[in-house]
């Protein structure tokens, strides 16, 4: 999720990307609990566009050129299927977004930052879902050690929980920006100061969030409560 505190390459498969539009997630409401996306006040200032993918939903900002948030509905069956899926590593600029609003591969090239997945490739069940997860609309500039080790450990811990859960688990992931963020590339893609991953299990009615600074020195701490995440971001993510 993007908050300012005041927040293809060639893919050798046929991919159906769904739609991009500035309104609601009509074609991917099942990625949200009760079909309800997060409530963001004054979101028009973020130049938002809703993007539906096969296995996740992105609210993208044309201001930051990053996701505002990325939503997934996960369960044991999907993750078991994802274990057998081969990672493609074919990143691409999402042509559904206007050129003035999207990140390009050239923005990350030579920047020193990883293209950090918000919906992880490791969650993706099926060829299309895996390929689509490499859209730059699903990425933020992330420090390399943070992305590959610390954040990756949070993603793995989330999958371990989903494998134990009784049914669907809803996960919302995103970046948080403080003040005037640094940028990379000709398109001035914003670099987040923090990352979060919210986990909600309807079977237990419990929610918690991982909060991590976007630095190479950051270490995983204790999860924060859903209420604390709402307080820090000002966003109501769940209809609970």
> Has 117 been annotated as catalytic?
yes
List beta partners, residue 73. Answer: 170
% of the chain beyond a pLDDT of 70 = 90
Considering the candidates 42, 60, 65, 117, report the single residue annotated as catalytic. Answer: 117
- Whether 43 is covered by a domain: the verdict is yes
Q: Looking at residues 194-218, what average pLDDT do you find? A: 98
Domain count, the chain: 1
Q: Which two tokens stand for residue 159?
A: 């999958």
**Mind listing the pLDDT tens digit for each residue in 132-182?**
999 999 999 999 999 999 999 999 999 999 999 999 999 999 999 999 999
Residues 6+ apart with CB under 8 A from 75: 162, 165, 167, 168, 169
Instruction: Return the pLDDT at 41.
Output: 80
23 confidence band (pLDDT: 50, 70, 90): low
CB 186, CB 107: distance < 8 Å: yes
Question: Three-state DSSP class for 177?
Answer: strand
The whole-model pTM stands at: 0.91
Q: Tell me the residue range of the domain where 149 lies.
A: 20-233
For residue 15, tell me if it sits in a domain: no
Exposed / middle / buried, residue 174 (Cβ in 10 Å: 0-12, 13-18, 19+): buried
User: Which of 56, 42, 7, 6 has its CA nearest to residue 190?
Assistant: 7
Q: Does the structure show a pLDDT above 50 at 10?
A: no
CATH assignment at residue 141: 3.40.570.10
Q: How confident is the model at residue 44 (pLDDT cuts 50, 70, 90)?
A: confident
Pairing relation of β-strands 139-142 and 20-21?
A: unpaired
Note the helical H segments in the chain: 76-82, 105-108, 127-132, 144-145, 151-164, 226-233
In a domain, 221, yes or no: yes
């Amino acid at each position: 999720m993007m908050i300012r505190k005041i927040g293809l390459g060639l893919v050798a498969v046929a991919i159906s990307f769904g739609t991009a539009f500035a309104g609601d997630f009509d074609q991917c409401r099942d990625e949200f609990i009760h079909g309800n996306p997060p409530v963001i006040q004054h979101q028009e200032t973020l130049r938002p566009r809703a993007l539906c993918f096969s296995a996740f939903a992105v609210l993208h900002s044309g201001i930051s050129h990053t996701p505002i948030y990325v939503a997934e509905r996960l369960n044991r069956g999907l993750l078991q299927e994802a274990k057998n899926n081969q990672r493609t590593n074919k990143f691409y600029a999402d042509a559904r977004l206007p050129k003035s609003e999207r990140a390009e591969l050239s923005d990350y090239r030579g920047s020193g930052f990883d293209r950090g997945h918000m919906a992880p490739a490791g969650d993706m069940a099926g060829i299309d879902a895996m390929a689509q997860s490499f859209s730059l609309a699903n990425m933020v500039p992330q420090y390399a050690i943070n992305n590959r080790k610390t954040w990756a450990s949070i993603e793995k811990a989330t999958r371990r929980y989903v494998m134990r859960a009784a049914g669907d688990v809803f996960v919302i992931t995103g970046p948080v920006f403080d003040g005037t963020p640094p940028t990379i590339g000709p398109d001035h893609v914003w670099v987040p100061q923090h990352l979060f991953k919210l986990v909600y299990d309807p079977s237990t009615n419990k929610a918690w969030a991982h909060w991590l600074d976007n630095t190479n020195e950051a270490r995983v701490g204790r999860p924060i409560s859903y209420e604390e995440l709402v307080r820090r971001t000002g966003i109501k993510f769940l209809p609970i």
